[in-house]
Amino acid sequence: MSSNLPLDRLFEAAADVRVRAHAPYSGFFVGAALVDREGRIHVGCNVENAAYPEGTCAEAGAIAAMVAAGGREILAIAVVGGPAEGGEILCPPCGGCRQKIREFAVEGTSVHLREADGRVTSLAFADLLPHSFGPGHL
């Protein structure tokens, strides 16, 4: 991880917010926690809607919280997700969330995914969205 924050704390924050997800339609609960340049943690959970396309992902919520707090750089983001009654399964950010993360990604931004058995998959964000379109194009 490209910050000094222990990964355990980031996963703890993601797991804590995951239980507050509003996911009555999919039954798939997701929590995301990111650390910004200032070392602050921002969290989000998925918020589904009866009008299905209006639902939002956990990552989007965490990004919105960061921006509202004045943060503009994501150093690392942890995502945990899975069926409500089940454990965590590997939950990589969806395509739309990859683009949302891209907006605030920096050199070395990392993405961390945890499964129920505690296994952690850590990825370089650049590998999740290669050849991406970003702020530098405009």
> Of 39 and 110, which CB lies nearer to ligand THU in the complex structure?
110
Q: Give me the sign of the Cα torsion angle 114, 85, 57, 93.
A: positive
Residues 6+ apart with CB under 8 A from 131: none
* Window 4-43: contact mask with ligand THU (x via CB under 6 A): -------------------x--x-x-x-------------
Instruction: By CB under 6 A, name the one of 57, 66, 74, 76 that touches ligand THU.
Output: 57
Q: Which residues pair with 124 in a beta bridge?
A: 110
The span from the CA of 81 to the CA of 111, in Å, is: 14
* Window 96-125: contact mask with ligand THU (x via CB under 6 A): -x----------------------------
Instruction: Verify binding: residue 58, ligand THU, rule CB under 6 A.
Output: yes
Task: Give me the torsion for CA of 20, 70, 80, 85, rounded to 10°.
Answer: 10
Counting beta carbons within 10 angstroms of the beta carbon of residue 3, is it exposed (0 to 12), middle (13 to 18) or buried (19 or more)? Answer: middle
Instruction: By CB under 6 A, name the one of 19, 69, 84, 94 that touches ligand THU.
Output: 94
Residue 59 annotated among the catalytic residues of the structure:
yes
Tell me the window of 8-16, 54-62, 66-74, 117-125 that interacts with ligand THU (CB under 6 A).
54-62
Instruction: Please answer whether residues 112 and 2 qualify as being in contact, where contact means their C-beta atoms are separated by less than 8 angstroms.
Output: no
Contact positions vs ligand THU (CB under 6 A)? 23, 26, 28, 30, 46, 48, 55, 57-59, 93-94, 97
